[in-house]
Structure 1
Amino acid sequence: MFAPYRGLLRQPGALRFSASGLLARLPISMVSLGLVILVSAKTGSYGLAGVVSAVFVVFRAVCSPMQARLVDRHGQHRTLPVIAGLNAAALGGLVVAVEVDTSLAVPVVLAGVAGASSPSIGSYVRARWSHLLGRGPKLQTAFALEAVADELLFMVGPPVVTFLATGISPNAGLLVALGCGLVGTLLLAALRDTEPPAHGRGGSGTPLAPLGWPALFPVVGASVGIGTLFGAFDISVIALATQADARAWSGVLLGITATGSMLSAAVLGSRTLRKPPLTRFRIGAAAITAAMVPLPFVSHLGLLAPIVFFTGLTISPTMIASVARVEETVPASRLSEGITWSTSALVGGIALGGAVAGRVIDGHGANAGFFVSLSAGVVATIVAWSGARRGTGTPPVGAPGVGAAGADAPAGG
């Protein structure tokens, strides 16, 4: 199963940009939690901590597509050092502001700047894979590899930031995330040999091609619903474990979910897929929703474990198909932006799901939060099955030189 991945990383420059990208995007699994730990430790208020963390997440979701458009126009080597420097300065200033006990407005503003300048490294690494490999089965494996990396980050990042914050200093987790993000992004930007060419007015001087929203919207809209499902699912699992007086098990259950997702991504990358990305995305959205059906009625944590593992198995295939659909829909000159639109929609949905489910749980108990996940999944499935079938960024199946397997191969997570 791992032979395709070994062959992939032997491609010229692949191991270097994949490894630097992994280091660069470690902060995505550390910063939000690190902000909550730091602000709550210094102020004694989880409410204030939640405000600062939410501002970071919202600004990241809203501004990432605009940031990706700049990167597509001007090139990664020109833009990423500036973005990474601004992000590091904002996060560093935020830590100082909290430590010296400034008014709440200062860390909130800095959290917004940090979120807006948080590099969308996953999109930029996937754009490099697409540029390096072109269309074909290897691209499927490449994006599956990145999906595995994403799940690994979310398994490792939260425990690391918690250990650093509780064992060394409340700001240690954020500072380590800052350093990893800055160094990794600068290393990635320096790898010019695998960088996609700049496009648009900042690059070749030609106008930007249309993004293809009629075909892109079902993926972006459904991603909001899937993100809402995820956000409600996470907080509901934590609330259910707390309700059972076993809060520590919440981390275990979420880890089981991530393990299932990572395993499915690893297996998927070693297979040649025949179904078109849009079909896989639609089936995936329905599968995630189906996995939510029993959760409102299960209170025993032991019974919950196999269900959340199955839920995890459905996540990566859906996310991989999502970016595969984006890749075949948007022009190559706007690939980073297109991927970022779907991931930003997912992040925004996660914040929405956590907020809505939290209020539902406060009023009706932990299991009721899963009804939010189920409802969001139904909406996401309906949206996913709407819209145009054919993308505009790549030739349709049957075009000269494009077979069924080749057309299906592009994927991402």
Structure 2
Amino acid sequence: MPAPESAGSYRAVLRLPSALRAFVPALGGRLAYGLLPLATLFTVQQTTGSYARAGLALAAFGLASITLPLKSRLTDTHGQRRVLPWLALFCAGFLALAALTPWPVPFVALAGLAAPPLGPAMRSTWRSLTDGTELKQRAYALDAVAEETLYLTGPLLAGVGLALAPARWTLLATAALLLLGTLGMVAAAPPTIATTARLFTAGPLRSPGLLRVLAARLFTAGPLRSPGLLRVLAVLLVAGAAISAAYTGMAAEAQAAGHPGAAGLLEAAVATGSVVGGLLWSRRHHTRPRTHHFAGLLALLAAGLLAASAAPDLISLGVVMGVGGLAVAPLYVVAYLAADDLSPPGYGTEAGTWINVAANAGSALGAAVAGVVTDRSGPGLAFLIAGVVVIVAAGWAVVWSWGRPGGEAGLLAE
């Protein structure tokens, strides 16, 4: 058994070989994604004079996220060092062209297609570094908390840059940060070459079976063959929809109160709760099945949403949503751990990417539904509906059979 420090200390995680040297540049690269929305929005607007085109550019970049599982599968197949630097180079190059040319929108879209999956790749590195230890949950919690912090501070830093210079300089700095962070991460990380990648390096590239192996690898269901993983994705779909609905509702409440700028503070309350929740979650030694973890965390999120539906003012709304936010980072930690257990060998990075895709899809759905409900009946009903849906999902997580005894049901237990 590891010593108490190695079982429960962030210091023990960062002391793992290559951990700090990979994690620090990875944070820099991932910070670029926090800077990107505002930098892109104002670069395109200042270049074209149109907020409509700026919104189109952001939408194009977001829609390109549908390619993330494919890029993650390529990373699993060939290893980070063969895939991520090229993706980062093309992505940064297209962002630079968006900043320097009078036709930024198509280059932003191309940048989205090439954007490297840095979050899933770093979690793959954590998975490799913590193999044979009890530190994986702590490492994932550290990663989730750091990611929440980056997305909280990224827009603030972008705002500083936009106040000091034209937006294109912030976008160029974002491109440089993405490229340098990616190169630093893959240079320090241990080789993570999937088993199938060896099929490509064992013989000459002219091997007649090469294309067949590549096609079989890229056009198979991969981790989505696991019914248990599909159920985990369903949980994240609901959670993403509920959180997005909450953001829509908070913005509407702030606008109705005559303080639209308070929407950012309300979102910051949720992010702060998420960071605190991730830190607290990682300090516990969890022994219950992960289905129970999902149920409990969803119930906490639902409690915040239901309380928000009756919040009398913005301060109380921020408090109850901050409490609900305590569940956000732990939900992702549990989902990533479950994805590791439920994905076939060699698909770890892709499985983690599907977690993000499910949450993003839920976010889009939640924003759309909450917008309609808010327009017709007010934000209180949007909070109420989101809370009820999450409560139903929590009950489903408890009663649903997650697989045959000893099979995937066992994998969902710690």
Q: Same fold (TM over 0.5)?
A: yes
Aligned partner of 2:402 among 380, 383, 388: 388
- Please state how far the C-alpha of 1:394 moved relative to its aligned partner: 8.9
Aligned match of 1:295 = 308
After the TM superposition, which of the residue ranges 141-150 and 387-396 deviates more from structure 2?
Answer: 387-396
Q: Deviations over 1:339-370 (max 9, x none)?
A: 00111111222233223333433444343443
Deviations 1:126-176, CA, capped at 9 Å, x for gaps: 111111111542111111110110111012101111221233222333222
Question: What are the Cα deviations for residues 175-226 of structure 1, in whole angstroms up to 9, with x where unaligned?
Answer: 222111110001112125x232233256567876952421110111222222
SS of the residue aligned with 1:333? coil
Task: Give the TM-score normalised by structure 1.
Answer: 0.85
Q: CA deviation at 1:235?
A: 2.5
| Contact preservation (8 Å) 1:239, 1:366 | yes
Match of 1:12, SS state, is coil
2:208 maps to none
User: Aligned-pair distance for 1:293?
Assistant: 1.0
2-structure distance, mates of 1:91, 1:392: 49
Q: Distance in 2 between matches of 1:142 and 1:271?
A: 13
Q: CA RMSD in A?
A: 2.9
> 126-135 or 43-52: which moved more?
43-52
Letter in 1 for 2:318: A
Q: Is 1:259–1:309's contact at 8 Å kept on the other side of the alignment?
A: yes
Which residue is 2:100 aligned to? Answer: 96
In the alignment, what sits opposite 2:157?
160
Q: For residue 135 of structure 2, give the secondary structure of its aligned residue in structure 1.
A: helix
Structure 1 unaligned blocks of 5 or more: 398-403, 409-413
Moved more, 361-370 or 75-84: 361-370
Report if the CA contact (8 A) 2:61-2:108 is conserved. yes
The more displaced of 253-262 and 202-211 is 202-211
The equivalent of 2:209 in structure 1 is none
Deviation digits for residues 95-133 of structure 1 (CA, Å, limit 9, x no counterpart)? 234xx2x4xxx61x3333222222121111111111111
Query: Which position in structure 1 is the counterpart of 2:37?
Result: 32
Whether the 8 Å CA contact 2:123–2:140 is kept in 1: the answer is: yes
- Kept in 2: contact 1:329–1:391 (CA 8 A): no
Q: Which digits, 9 at most, give the CA deviation of each residue in 1:213-262, with x for residues without a partner?
A: 21110111222222122222222212211221222222222112111111
Correspondence for 1:78: 82
Letter in 2 for 1:314: A
2:122 maps to which residue? 125
> TM-score of the superposition, structure 2-length normalised?
0.85
Distance in 1 of aligned mates of 2:62 and 2:31: 15
Which ranges in structure 2 are unaligned for 5 or more consecutive residues?
203-212
Pairing partner for 2:195 from 193, 199, 207: 199
Q: Deviations over 1:19-39 (max 9, x none)?
A: 111111112222223323333
Counterpart residue number, 2:24:
19
**Cα distance change on mapping 1:387 and 1:153 into 2, 3 Å:** farther
In the alignment, structure 1 residue 323 sits paired with structure 2 residue 327: no
Secondary structure, in 3 states, of the residue corresponding to 2:369?
A: helix
* Distance in structure 2 (CA, Å) of the matches to 1:284 and 1:32: 29
Give the count of matched residue pairs.
Answer: 391
Contact 1:87-1:113 at 8 Å conserved across structures: yes
Higher relative contact order (CA 8 A, sep 6+): 1
Checking the alignment, whether the CA contact within 8 Å between 1:353 and 1:372 is kept in structure 2 is no
Percent identical among aligned pairs is 27
